[in-house]
Amino acid sequence: MTETGLTSSTNTMGTTPGYMPGFGNDFETEALPGALPQGMNSPQKCAYGLYGEQLSGTAFTAPSHQNERTWCYRIRPSVKHVGRFEKIDVPYWKSAPHVLDDVISLGQYRWDPIPHSGEVLTWVTGMRTVTTAGDVYTQAGMATHVYLVTESMVDEYFFSADSELLVVPQEGRLRFCTELGVIDIEPKEIAILPRGLVYRVELPDGKPARGFVCENYGQKLELPGRGPIGANCMANRRDFKTPVAAFEDREVKSRVVIKWQGQFHETFIGHSPLDVVAWHGNYAPCKYDLRDYCPIGAILFDHPDPSIFTVLTAPSGVPGTANIDFVLFRERWMTMEDTFRPPWYHKNVMSELMGNIYGEYDAKPDGFAPGGISLHNMMLPHGPDKTAFDKATHSNLGPEKLDNTMSFMFETRFPQHLTEFAAKEAPLQDDYIDCWESLEKHFDGTPEGNWKR
């Protein structure tokens, strides 16, 4: 028995105990010996009196390289883990489309870290939606959230029928006790929780946690194509870790909360739904350590597009234009000659929401604190402030390491609409737009320009 109360597999495949390495692999794992059928999926009688059940993450007829499903061997079938549903109100968790008449989403925005309020909050009640994009009903687009968790879920479980969740901790550790095993994550790690997966969220250290969530309504997140980069670098498949089987056999009144079509419902059952004793398949949660991400960059001149730092992407129906890109800006060396090294000024067909995990972001050395957020919506110009511009323009360009820095971007082809919370309750920096006010005119009609400070 683990401290979670789950009976875990003794399987220690890979070099990380309790996890199996690989992204999108076909895994097999059992918490009791002989619980996993061999050579077939649905025997007439499963070992230990278990029920065989398939969890499908894609349509049955999806192309084989995209087809995802997991066979579960559980104490009760999932139909016993739900009863009659009652609608409940989760006021701060919003879904697209969510466009408010009295909120202006057109602009460049930045927020200070959203503070803990002292309110008792779980994973569900502590979710604060910042932006929504696309349409949850047609399974396109996304939402971005900040989570504020002060209390573990006790005999309470959650699953989303709408989306997979990409979780990016910024403060404090989380434990996801899922149907398919246990995942612990901390800042500098991420977790991916598939659509339909049932889980409970705990605070293993008993301390409040804060972080970011990208809620993906569309196609699942996958690794980006490397193209001419080749077979290595960026995020490598072996560094993603999927948990081994773990189960609970507890008879206790339990609450299950479901998110479905942007609405929340609850149902009550008499036992824990985390009762999968063995499973095999490729539809499963996983975690990834962002410190394992190997950045690629220019080594002679110019600054490549930020897409070079993509960790994960969720494709859309338009080739090369993502429903979501998850992009990481971590420690790295800058060596380019005669080059403006920070991100250049630009307008983008994509909408960019950034979060700071720790340290200082090179394009905005002031005002973008760890835990902070910025939003540059589609086709709105943005770029370095005057301090960053002056430093990059006048510095001696020797090799320089960007150190103590880790921020990320949730980028989407959809415009991101602010929620009322983001516009009126969260600590919005009203003066953010002024960070470009002091940029100077250097044009004077001569080829050299007026580049005096």
The reported pLDDT for the residue numbered 364 is: 64
- The pLDDT score that the predictor gives to residue 136 is 97
Using DSSP, state whether 443 is helix, strand or coil: coil
pLDDT of residue 12: 53
Distances (CA, A) of 357 to 113, 164, 215, 368: 10, 21, 18, 10
pLDDT of residue 10: 58
CATH of domain 292-434: 2.60.120.10
User: Are the beta carbons of 218 and 140 closer than 8 angstroms?
Assistant: yes
- By C-alpha distance, which of 75, 404, 446 is closest to 247? 75
Higher pLDDT, 29 or 360: 29
Work out the mean pLDDT of the chain and round it to a whole number: 94
HSE-CB of 132 using CA atoms within 13 angstroms: 23
Model confidence at 422, pLDDT cuts 50, 70, 90, reads very high
Q: On the CB side of 216, how many CA atoms lie within 13 Å of its CA?
A: 27
Tell the residue number behind the tokens 């402030």, with chain if given: 385
The average pLDDT across 98-103 equals 96
| pLDDT value, residue 451 | 82
Strands of 316-446, DSSP E? 322-334, 351-359, 373-376, 400-412, 417-418
pLDDT at position 450 is 87
pLDDT band at residue 13, thresholds of 50, 70 and 90?
Answer: low
CA 181 to chain centre: 19
Q: What pLDDT does residue 1 have? A: 39
| Section 263-291 average pLDDT | 98
Cβ partners under 8 Å of residue 430, min gap 6: none
> Nearest 5 degrees, angle CA 438-CA 441-CA 444?
160
The b-or-e profile of 147-159 (16+ CB within 10 A means b, else e) is bbbbbbbeebbbb
Show the DSSP H helices in 268-415 as ranges. Answer: 386-394
Question: 364: which 2 tokens?
Answer: 């905005």
Reading the block at residue 374, the tokens are: 């910025």
Task: Provide the residue ranges of all domains of the chain, joining segments of one domain with +.
Answer: 292-434
Per the listing, tokens 């918490």 go with 31
Please write the tens of the pLDDT for every residue from 157-188. Answer: 999 999 999 999 999 999 999 999 999 999 99
* Closest C-alpha to 306, from 293, 288, 325, 324: 325
According to the model, what pLDDT value does residue 2 have?
44
Q: Which pTM was predicted?
A: 0.95
Percent of the chain with pLDDT over 70: 96
DSSP 211-240: EEEEEE-SSPPBPPP-GGG-SSSBS-GGGE
pLDDT at 257: 98
**Residue with tokens 């794992």, as numbered in its chain:** 29
Give pLDDT, residue 14: 59
Cβ neighbours of 227 (radius 10 Å): 6
Residue corresponding to tokens 């999806």: 62
pLDDT reading at 453 higher than 60:
no
Q: What is the pLDDT of residues 189-224, one digit of tens each?
A: 999 999 999 999 999 999 999 999 999 999 999 999
Residue 300 DSSP label: S
Q: What are phi and psi of 435, to 5 degrees?
A: -65, -15
Q: What is the pLDDT of residue 323?
A: 96
The structure tokens listed for 345 are: 């000024």
State yes or no: pLDDT of 274 exceeds 60: yes
**Mean pLDDT of all residues in 300-312:** 93
State the pLDDT confidence band at 15, using cuts at 50, 70 and 90: confident
Burial class (CB in 10 A: 0-12, 13-18, 19+), 35: buried
Residues involved in catalysis: 303
d(C-alpha 384, C-alpha 143), whole Å: 26
Distance CA(120)–CA(151), nearest Å, equals 6
Q: Name the phi and psi angles at 169, rounded to 5.
A: -65, 145
Q: Residue 344 — very low, low, confident or very high, per pLDDT cuts 50/70/90? A: confident
Binding residues: 346, 352, 361, 382
Stretch 337-365: mean pLDDT, rounded?
A: 88
Q: For 361-416, what is each residue's pLDDT tens digit?
A: 865 667 889 999 999 999 999 988 888 899 899 989 999 999 999 999 999 999 99
Q: Is the CB of residue 282 less than 8 Å from the CB of residue 180?
A: no
Whole-angstrom Cα distance, residue 202 to residue 206? Answer: 8
What is the pairing mode between strands 254-260 and 27-30? unpaired
